[in-house]
Structure 1
Amino acid sequence: MAGTALPLVVTTPAQADATDCAVYMASKGYKVGPSVKKACYLAENTVNGTAFCETSLKVMGVRAHHAEEACRRGAR
């Protein structure tokens, strides 16, 4: 076994995005339509996106802790 080399596998951490936000919302029983997708997009793609996302989701009637977690996942 001397001189046997094992390949080195390097992986990168999973990248969060608006899809992660939407999947989380669906997993909590919320309908993921255009408004939820837009809120999740804001979390990922805008300055202060998490705050905009959370506010948007809360206005739609999403529970605060669900909105916070969904938007956090979208902004990671």
Structure 2
Amino acid sequence: MAKVHISQLFHTFQRALPVMVAGEAIEARTFKKDRGIVVLKQDVDHFVFNQFGFDNKTLTLDSTSLLKQLKKVDSKRVSA
């Protein structure tokens, strides 16, 4: 598993999403592994976004909505 700096997380997801195949997932966890995000590609246009740890939520989104959700998660990290 490759380690990615938190500042590059959004760009890493942005590059990886278009080349994923159905059934493939990307997982990002904190250093302590108690919080994270999992993105699973269901089909051509739909992804399952699962955030766990401090905030728990599971959403089914298209790629545009998914990128917006990832931006929200990233902006929370910066403002906290």
- Name the TM-score, length of structure 2 as normaliser: 0.26
Larger Rg: 1
Higher strand proportion, which one?
Answer: 2
Greater RCO, 1 or 2 (C-alpha within 8 Å, sep 6+)? 1
Higher helix proportion, which one?
Answer: 1
